[in-house]
Amino acid sequence: MATHAPAPSRQSARRSSYNNRAPAGRRARHDHVPKARRTYGALDLGTNNCRLLIARPSPDGFYVIDAFSRIVRLGEGLLDTGRISDAAIAKALDALKVCAEKLDRRDTWITRNVATEACRRATNGPEFIARVHEVTGIALDVITPAEEARLAVLGCQALLSPEYSHALVFDIGGGSTEISLVETDGRRAVRQLGWNSVPWGVVSLTETERCPQDTVEARLASYHRMRARVAGNISQAMDRLLPPDGFEKLQLLGTSGTITTLTSLHLGLSHYDRSRVDGAWVENKAMRAIADSLSRMSYEERCEQPCIGRDRADMVVAGCAILDAILEAFPVEKLCVADRGIREGILRTLMMRDGH
């Protein structure tokens, strides 16, 4: 799959999100760092989470030397006001300060920092981007939904199975859900055949449902309304998402906090374990059964579930509704689960551009 991107600059990180972060006084030393020892950074500021990976190349891809993830709820209230709230800005800045410190401490060679749906939608998005730059030195690149989908495919590419001729890769975000149909050669995506951006993610879809949900009946009605919104959008895009070889040769590959959380519940994990979740294959009917079960629970009941907790309990039902709509639209037997995505796609792009 094509990985075109702007060439990394040799400016300070305060000028571009594609760059060598070394201060001017250290650039001469950095220019002589062996390629195999260079450190690369990938920052993804989403509508719900702020995530960072710092890695070095390895023979089979890269190995992570530092990471960071924090829920910041950047898109909270955006549906009502059209703006990123002051509280969300404060949370995001706190998280991004940590990211900036890690990037500097790890002597990062090149980094790319991206922002997605919340910054695309918000009327004060440009003002927020400028504020981040001023406070942290991080220059955020607000990417398009198409670029977001491309990076997710590239980041998940290692999980493509040679048994399939096509893959449907989907990423359930905070503000939107990106779906890509790609042709594969058994190892990698070679061509994108279709793409759709569903204008609902776990934050934006949750905020469409403000009615009381104090009974099972009310919770189910709310769940079905959310699911119908997503299903309606997918149905309008099916002509560009149907694989030419039919569903028998289609691999479903999903990435998001929702999918990894539901997989943890399916596996009966008492705490999250990436080594058990990333790359797992789960029957679609099992995932849909867990989604249905969570949709019936109260907020407090969801909080008590392992691997959910209070940080995810209010958003997980919307994620279940999105996942359920996708699984119904693409009736294959199993789903491959990815705990990877945009950040890994960024790292692969940067390393490939640097000759790895």
Q: Of the candidates 31, 41, 33, which has an alpha carbon nearest to the alpha carbon of residue 351?
A: 41
pLDDT higher than 70, residue 16? no
- pLDDT of 27 reads 38
Cα angle at 63 between 277 and 316, to 5 degrees? 30
Query: What beta strand segments (E) does 89-188 contain?
Result: 110-115, 141-142, 166-172, 177-184
pLDDT higher than 50, residue 124? yes
Cα distance between residue 238 and residue 196, in whole Å: 9
- pLDDT of 18 reads 55
**Which of 7-15's residues contact partners 24+ apart within 8 Å by CB, and which partners?**
7/353, 8/110, 8/350, 8/353, 8/354, 12/137, 13/103, 13/111, 13/137, 13/138, 13/139, 14/133, 14/137, 14/139, 15/139
**CA dihedral sign, ordered 67, 70, 72, 75:** positive
Is the pTM of the predicted complex or chain greater than 0.85? yes
Which tens digits make up the pLDDT trace of 286-309? 999 999 999 999 999 999 998 998
- pLDDT of 187 reads 81
pLDDT higher than 90, residue 219? yes
pLDDT higher than 90, residue 103? yes
- pLDDT of 284 reads 97
Q: Which residue has the higher pLDDT, 32 or 68?
A: 68
Q: Reduced to 3 states, what is the DSSP secondary structure of residue 22?
A: coil
pLDDT higher than 60, residue 338? yes
| Beta pairing, strands 177-184 & 166-172 | antiparallel
Average model confidence (pLDDT) across the chain? 89
pLDDT higher than 90, residue 101? yes
Q: Which of 6-10, 69-73, 106-110, 325-329 has the lowest mean pLDDT?
A: 6-10
**CA dihedral sign, ordered 277, 282, 286, 288:** positive
Query: What beta strand segments (E) does 72-213 contain?
Result: 110-115, 141-142, 166-172, 177-184, 189-198
Are 27 and 109 within 8 A, CB to CB?
no
- pLDDT of 30 reads 53
Average pLDDT over residues 14-43: 59
Q: Which of 29-38, 88-97, 260-269, 289-298 has the lowest mean pLDDT?
A: 29-38
Q: Facing residues of 32 across strands? A: none
Are 213 and 22 within 8 A, CB to CB?
no
- Say which residue the tokens 């709820």 belong to: 73
Which tens digits make up the pLDDT trace of 147-185? 999 999 999 999 999 999 999 999 999 999 999 999 998
Which tens digits make up the pLDDT trace of 235-265? 999 999 999 988 999 999 999 999 999 999 9
- pLDDT of 32 reads 62
Average pLDDT over residues 213-242: 95
- pLDDT of 246 reads 87
Cα distance between residue 183 and residue 178, in whole Å: 17
DSSP string spanning 289-312?
Answer: HHHHHHHHS-HHHHHTSTTTHHHH
Average pLDDT over residues 205-211: 89
Task: Sketch out the chain's domains with CATH numbers.
Answer: 24-143 (3.30.420.40), 157-342 (3.30.420.150)
User: Within a 10 A sphere around the Cβ of 236, how many other Cβ atoms?
Assistant: 10
pLDDT higher than 90, residue 1? no
- pLDDT of 25 reads 34
Q: Of the candidates 142, 141, 143, 139, which has an alpha carbon nearest to the alpha carbon of residue 12?
A: 139
Average pLDDT over residues 310-324: 94
Cα distance between residue 159 and residue 336, in whole Å: 8
Cα distance between residue 184 and residue 189, in whole Å: 4
Q: Which residue has the higher pLDDT, 287 or 59?
A: 287
Cα distance between residue 247 and residue 263, in whole Å: 22
Cα distance between residue 129 and residue 111, in whole Å: 17
Q: How confident is the model at residue 139 (pLDDT cuts 50, 70, 90)?
A: very high
